[in-house]
Homo-oligomer: A and B are copies of this chain.
């Protein structure tokens, strides 16, 4: 830490408010070095954070944080914010168990105004804060910092539509990445690029106003006429961007790496005391060659070698890439198959599909609602849509699954990635609710493969042997290293004989912990691995009724879990034995390693071994 001479002097934003620009430039360089050094060890989001170093400094200098409310959209770009707000010395604990969160977290600091993690919430929350300030007679300001990617989410638009008609002290900062011009999705992104390419056009308005302001008599008269009349010129001059039409004062585009210019613009926006929209241009990965060249690779990273830019470990095969390869292969032979993603082409393994089946691939932006309704629309026309989505983001599409797809039994396939615990991203990203909310929607079928081979077989079943909405859910990362003999992945469940005194049941990746735990018992229990986890197989229930005791291990929140549904069903069938379920609690699960968290909730092999022993000796 001794090399960070300036940074070491910063404990709160007050410490940077008195600095001059040469010092601030040096501070920016130190912060970039600090970010690269740390993230190369802890992993995390690098490119987006390197892009907002100046912006973060400018925001904390212009606004009186934490009294002024500052909300980061998605929140993965909050690292400099954390470093400047008293968390520099704990920064090496980022994303570690018990350490700093990779996202803003109010419990961690008063500077973190709102829990974030999912996209497009910041304008709603900042507008709410501005309404609260207004109601309490406060003159404080609220700021949302939102990327152009997050602007593809409808929630951002809903909030903009509400905020624009207010007179509140509210500043929306659009963080417009160079990266996104080519990659970002949709007509709105194209519109932003158009604005950026036409600064002279946009500045015309300012120039005309300035000229009029400085031309005595005649100028003033013309300006008044312009302002009051309904002339064409007024419409043209005073509604030069959509944001102005929505009620915002528009500033920009401004260079997001030029501190004085940034601060001047933000200060003007703050002084307006009405909704303002500041369009800031930044470069993702700014200051680290490898990240600037390939910002996607440095969006979320594990550790890496700073000199070469090489990641610690070459990316292994994963459920995501296996799914992507398989879907591409299936689509070669079936031209009804479409691939849909909500801005997660890489994450969900659809890169190859996107090039091989370009005309049947749809990246809709961060717009899970639309992705689902769009999938339903394709299904209604006889296509086979496969919406690949992280479990945590599928939460956004609950009503669209139920209302747009399930009611009419449209055949849409959900490839639910990152199902189960995700580890380092913590509470906001755990994929532990999908079983609960999907089984609450009538007619949904769910498969839960634990290996690539099972994924392949069950994805085929989902596509070709199932009606209505069907989800295939699989965890983050790779399949278990050891395969299990005797599986029946094409059936609704696999079964291994054992004592009639105990049946042990599970599904998904933790079955690979249950299997050895069970087989190691002196008198091994019967083993059931569920493949089609919902609806419950009648044959499964019938078989289970024959055991004195049943123990079920499940990596999902308790309410609405398969084990809970099974418990009810066993009760209906008059089961007289003992049924015990180990699930995740009805609680939010904080960040930690997946193995560590599984152990904490007794879903690891050691715990299972103990539990089975206890059950067998009961």
Q: How far is the CB of A547 from chain B (nearest CB, A)?
A: 15
Q: How far is the CB of A441 from chain B (nearest CB, A)?
A: 8
In the complex, the answer to whether B165 meets A367 with C-beta atoms within 8 Å is no
Set of chain B residues within 8 Å of A395, measured between Cβ atoms: 398-399, 402-403
Set of chain B residues within 8 Å of A39, measured between Cβ atoms: none
Set of chain B residues within 8 Å of A359, measured between Cβ atoms: 134-135
* Cβ < 8 Å to B, chain A residues 72-120: 106-107, 113-115, 117-118
In the complex, the answer to whether A158 meets B369 with C-beta atoms within 8 Å is yes
Contact with B along A232-252 (1 / 0, CB 8 A): 100110010010011100000
In the complex, the answer to whether B201 meets A186 with C-beta atoms within 8 Å is no
- Among A118, A165, A380, A559, max chain B CB count under 10 A is at A559
Q: Which residue of chain B is the closest to A566 with respect to CB atoms?
A: B568
Set of chain B residues within 8 Å of A134, measured between Cβ atoms: 359
A515 near B: Cβ within 8 Å?
Answer: no
Q: How far is the CA of A398 from the CA of B437 in the complex (A)?
A: 9
Set of chain B residues within 8 Å of A200, measured between Cβ atoms: 232
Secondary structure class of chain A's binding surface, majority of residues: helix
A587 near B: Cβ within 8 Å?
Answer: yes
> How many copies of this chain sit in the oligomeric assembly?
2
Q: How far is the CB of A86 from chain B (nearest CB, A)?
A: 20
A431 near B: Cβ within 8 Å?
Answer: no
Q: How far is the CA of A204 from the CA of B557 in the complex (A)?
A: 60
Set of chain B residues within 8 Å of A165, measured between Cβ atoms: 185-187, 190
* Cβ < 8 Å to B, chain A residues 356-390: 359-360, 362, 364-365, 367, 369-370, 373-378, 380-383
In the complex, the answer to whether A132 meets B383 with C-beta atoms within 8 Å is yes
Additional A-B contact list (6), CB under 8 Å, known A135-B335, A165-B190: A127-B374, A135-B338, A154-B154, A157-B157, A158-B369, A571-B579
Contacts A/B (CB < 8 Å), 20 sampled: A69-B381, A124-B373, A128-B376, A128-B377, A131-B378, A154-B158, A159-B370, A162-B370, A188-B246, A194-B245, A396-B399, A398-B399, A402-B433, A407-B588, A442-B586, A558-B568, A559-B565, A560-B560, A564-B568, A567-B568
